[in-house]
Structure 1
Amino acid sequence: MKTTRNENVLVVIPARGGSKAIPLKNLRPVGGRSLLARGIEAAYAAPSVTDVVVSTDHSQIRNEAHAHGARVIDRPAALASDQATSESALLHALDTLESQPAVVVLLQCTSPFIDPAHLESAIRTVLDGGADVCFSVTEDHSFLWAAPDGAVQAVGHEAAFRPRRQDREPQYRETGAFYALRTDRFREAGHRFFGSLAFQVVPPADAPEVDSFEDLALACTQAARREAGPAAEPGPGIDVDALVTDFDGVHTNDLALVAQDGSEYVTVSRSDGMGVSRLRRDGVPVLILSTETHPVVAARAAKLGVEVIHGVDDKAARLAAWLAERGLDPARVAYVGNDVNDVAAMGSVGWPIAVADARPEALAAARVVLRKPGGRGAVREVCERILDTQTRSAPPALLATTP
């Protein structure tokens, strides 16, 4: 009787709710999708994967996993502490199954740029018997140093010999993105490095890990650039019916000149004015919404010919009221911000946008990160991208020129 070879592949994504550096880190958006969603999508896009489960202790993470088609395994509190290992979550997941997969993959969604082709290659290496473990690494040519007990010493190289990069054998840094493991031997060993090991080398651009708000901000910026592509200028279109912006740090560079008598002066970009003018001419409502009480906010809004609401403490609530007054769908509204007091308002619309030099918290909340910083063309850029979308979506007859 012919025996069918077991080629079942289970991807397990540990995603506990108690991350400390970034609360609910796994739900943070990068490029418009949560880290968890990106991990699930990458797993399902690898052809050999037969099942994806998320191991979690948190209801919001559970809901996000279900929304993106993954099964959920409820992780006990004892396995969701700061001291709990990823291996313990993996073993717990395997213990819940009636039958064991040939390969189990530990996938960590804090790596937002997993290429399904690399994941598939690692899985096939283990399935086809090339290794017991295959995990993601990237080349690293760094000179490493350590200082045990205060004594500085070279690690992995001779301090007196500094060969050129091209003359050195590459080292490989573990990315933490994925580990494909032969299931039976993993259960015997209880840890992820056992038996014969193999690398899956990924490019440095695919290797970032998100462990801090700074990492998250960089990942958001990178995601925006990857979406735009190297030749896109200034970026993909933004399909909205209205534009709302903060003032300080968006229309300005977030700096102020203070005179001896206490008078304050800010600088703005003249090019922003042309962008706003063209947007208004096309019938797109524009609102400046700011916590700043200084009269310069209203003066700039009057110069641009747009609505202004300033001296506002709760931007999200005031924005919701403005949208309701005008019958606008929040999903089709853009809000451009730069700082922590913009995050709630950004989260209430379909197109949260951050300027290039925004705070990490604002960058993390953004669906789009602009290429221009505040006060130096950011408003013009977002206006152009809205106009570009309207032009491309207009009926052909409207695009024809009069002979």
Structure 2
Amino acid sequence: MIVAVIPARGGSKRIKNKNIRPFAGKPLISYSLTAAQQAAIFDDIIVSTDSDDIAEVARDHGATCIIKRSPTLSDDYTGTTPVVRDAIEQYEKLSGSKVTYVCCIYATAPFLSSDALLAGYHQLTQAPAAKFAFSVTSYAFPIQRAIKIVGEGVEPVSPENMGARSQDLDECYHDAGQFYWGTKRAWLDQAGMFKAHSCPVVIPRYLVQDIDTHEDWIRAELMYRAYIKDNEND
């Protein structure tokens, strides 16, 4: 069985009801659910939540299984891996089926595409030693030339790199926060995401935006509307 797991906690502090708040006219979580459906690779699309409201919206937009998350996995400090592990274990008990591959998809990824999900699956399954495959994107500026504020002034983080040309520095990437493919065993064993056994799936920067604050939300909606309009004009 190949399943998607979408963690969607109800207690968002900075943006109330973030996972089901209307984003460009539709509940935010619906974009992740739609991408998962369009990939046409998942036997079930699971939403792990502690909220009845999120569960109802998720069912209306394509979730095929709701996993009720316990309060101990619904606080501000619980990471993604324990939630995915719990969803795998509960799902196998409920369905009587054995899971092979799991894709954790964040509920706050309106730019996620089915093509990216499929690319992640193919990378994971075609690399013999791979345990995970997840979305990454490049930094817009060389991080080797980062500066930090010290008192009322600034100083470089890596003074030796301040005079280097951009093209002479290694391009660096960060987690794009969209999806995380993994084998069932890798999730259950907590094998670790940011290691050599993880394959990067590179996403263009214009399709990546964290949504943690109201400012993030406004920026993401502006980006999304511009992206959709540009595609409609092609």
1:43 to 36, 46, 71: 36
Shift in Å at residue 217 of structure 1? 1.0
Residue in structure 1 matched with residue 171 of structure 2 by the alignment: 170
Cα 1:135/1:177, change in 2 over 3 Å: same
Residue in structure 2 matched with residue 61 of structure 1 by the alignment: 54
Residues 35-74 of structure 1 deviation map (CA, whole Å, 9 limit, x = unaligned)? 1111111111113222110000011101011101212100
TM-score (norm 2): 0.86
Residue in structure 2 matched with residue 207 of structure 1 by the alignment: 208
Residue in structure 2 matched with residue 219 of structure 1 by the alignment: 220
Aligned partners of 2:37 and 2:62 also within 8 Å? no
Partners of 1:209 and 1:141 lie apart in 2 by 15
Aligned partners of 2:142 and 2:169 also within 8 Å? no
2:85 to 68, 81, 91: 91
- Higher CA-based Rg: 1
1:214 alignment partner AA: E
Residue in structure 1 matched with residue 116 of structure 2 by the alignment: 118
Aligned partners of 1:105 and 1:180 also within 8 Å? yes
Shift in Å at residue 111 of structure 1? 1.9
**What is the SS of the residue equivalent to 2:216?**
helix
Task: Show structure 1 runs of 4+ deviating over 6 A.
Answer: 148-151
Aligned partners of 2:81 and 2:190 also within 8 Å? no
**What is the SS of the residue equivalent to 2:76?**
coil
Residue in structure 2 matched with residue 188 of structure 1 by the alignment: 189
Aligned partners of 1:141 and 1:171 also within 8 Å? no
- Spell out the pairing of 1:3-402 with structure 2 (5 A cutoff): 8-70=1-63, 71-96=65-90, 97=92, 98-130=96-128, 131-144=130-143, 145=146, 147=148, 152-155=155-158, 158-164=160-166, 166-189=167-190, 191-193=192-194, 196-229=197-230, 232=233
Cα 1:112/1:230, change in 2 over 3 Å: closer
Aligned partners of 2:2 and 2:101 also within 8 Å? yes
1:64 alignment partner AA: V
Aligned partners of 2:84 and 2:187 also within 8 Å? no
2:17 alignment partner AA: L
2:42 alignment partner AA: V
Shift in Å at residue 196 of structure 1? 1.1
Shift in Å at residue 20 of structure 1? 0.7
**What is the SS of the residue equivalent to 1:73?**
strand
Cα 1:136/1:67, change in 2 over 3 Å: same
Shift in Å at residue 216 of structure 1? 0.9
**What is the SS of the residue equivalent to 1:208?**
coil
Aligned partners of 1:110 and 1:210 also within 8 Å? yes
1:78 alignment partner AA: T
**What is the SS of the residue equivalent to 1:189?**
coil
Partners of 1:192 and 1:94 lie apart in 2 by 17
Shift in Å at residue 141 of structure 1? 4.4
Q: Identity rate of aligned residues, in percent?
A: 27
CA RMSD of aligned residues (A): 2.3
Partners of 1:231 and 1:124 lie apart in 2 by 29
Shift in Å at residue 193 of structure 1? 4.2
Cα 1:171/1:190, change in 2 over 3 Å: closer
Aligned partners of 2:14 and 2:213 also within 8 Å? yes
Shift in Å at residue 104 of structure 1? 0.8
Cα 1:148/1:83, change in 2 over 3 Å: farther
Shift in Å at residue 194 of structure 1? 5.5
Partners of 1:228 and 1:147 lie apart in 2 by 38
Q: Which runs of 5+ in 1 are unaligned?
A: 1-7, 233-403
1:133 alignment partner AA: F
Cα 1:59/1:230, change in 2 over 3 Å: closer
